[in-house]
Amino acid sequence: MTTAPVENSSRGHAKAFAPPSSNAADGRKILVGLSRPELEAEVLGMGEAKFRAKQLWQWIYNRGASSFEEMTSLGKPFRAKLEAGYVVGRPEVVEDLISTDGTRKWLLRFPDGNEVETVFIPEEGRGTLCVSSQVGCTLTCKFCHTGTQPLVRNLSPNEIVSQIILARDSMAEWPSSGLNRRVTNIVMMGMGEPLYNYENVRTALNIVMDGEGLSISRRRITLSTSGVVPEIRRCGVDLGVNLAVSLHATDDETRGKIMPINNKYPLKELLDACREYPGVSNSRRITFEYVMLKDVNDSMEDAKKLLQVLKGIPAKINLIPFNPWPGSFFECSSNNQIRRFSDFLFENGISAPVRTTRGEDILAACGQLKSESERKRKTKKPCAAE
């Protein structure tokens, strides 16, 4: 139905399969992931008043209720109706790993057997949740482990929102509890290309940003794309979240070799879309991600070209040391070269910090995410927190 294998070699512009319907294994409908209008329609369909949908929404997204029993402000007959036809919805967690540096990675399995990973990265004063948008990825960037996963399907809004709910559950930090929240920021930088699953990502992020629920502001959400040009503008208009672009090279030839999407949307088109990204300004810059690959894109000539191509775009650069994975073809640039590259950009007025690799011991670093069913486990540690 949803997950026939897709051949790796023919996947350049393959379409990912749609997610299965949002029903639990017993056929009851899952509420997490329904938009507000969809939830209202369900409630009206049960013969209940519209304001009940608002109460339900708050129980699910503000108080973190995972069962109808907990929803004490709803009348018993309504709760019984809900129980009969619906579940709130929680994903199955098959692995929960904590790195020596505090990074935490969950492996989630959905009822059709597909799996994705979600990573929490604690930092001084903030905590970032790295959320997946697809099982695998239809693109095949040469340096990325996710791109080698043979099965690809889109995640549903339920499966995307569930990753944030899971993090809140795991850290007992629902807004109504009044505690300082550890998950302060969301980055759509996990498995998959979010702009190839745009509709579902949009529905999910609108739920995540809703002020009466999870309430994470668009200024604290960053969507990372490999450069799906037609959707970049829509994303800015509809969602207004921060944009990160995986640039990784400064000319079409090099970029086309390591990122096949460049052959569809070349650099000029991509950079024009960035220039026109709604809301972009000096105080709201676009982040350009640049993975440091030895002898591929890391010369000082490349650094100079990077300055040139980003001219006129309010930009900051994130230099990512290449994270190797079993069988990967590239080498990471030397620390010295990364430092020189970064210093040169800073000296020329553009912020270019080197991103520290986090969660290496649990394979949670950028570009390493790939479901366990597809890869032999490296190190595995039982979760120390629960």
Q: Is 241 in the site for ligand SF4 (CB under 6 A)?
A: no
Closest CA to 116 of 137, 138, 102: 137
Determine whether 383 is an active site residue: no
Smallest separation (angstroms) from ligand SF4 to the CB of 320: 11
Q: Is 320 in the site for ligand SAH (CB under 6 A)?
A: yes
Tell me the residue number closest to ligand SF4, measured at CB.
Answer: 147
Only segment of 33-41, 117-125, 153-161, 221-229 that touches ligand SAH (CB under 6 A): 221-229
31 is written with which tokens? 């509420």
Helix ranges (H only) for the chain are 36-45, 51-57, 76-85, 157-170, 198-209, 229-238, 252-258, 267-275, 300-309, 335-347
Q: Is 262 in the site for ligand SAH (CB under 6 A)?
A: no
262 is written with which tokens? 């460049």
Q: Which is nearer to ligand SF4, 168 or 370 (CB)?
A: 370
Binding to ligand SF4 in span 95-154, by CB under 6 A: 137, 139-141, 144, 146-147
Q: Choose the catalytic residue: 40, 48, 117, 159.
A: 117
Of 40, 96, 159, 193, which lies in the binding site for ligand SF4, with binding defined by CB under 6 A? Answer: 193
- For residue 253, which phi and psi values (nearest 5 degrees)? -65, -50
Residues in Cβ contact with 33 at an 8 Å cutoff, skipping those fewer than 6 apart:
22, 89, 156, 157, 158, 159, 160, 161, 162, 203, 204, 207
Q: What is the dihedral of CA 215, 107, 129, 169, to 10 degrees?
A: 40
Unique residue bearing structure tokens 């690809």: 152
Determine whether 199 is an active site residue: no
**From the list ligand SF4, ligand SAH, none, partner contacted by residue 262 (C-beta under 5 to 8 A by kind):** none
Catalytic center residues = 117, 366
Chain positions contacting ligand SAH, by CB under 6 A: 141, 143-144, 189, 193, 224-226, 246, 289, 291, 320, 322-323, 366-367
Chain positions contacting ligand SF4, by CB under 6 A: 137, 139-141, 144, 146-147, 192-193, 226, 246
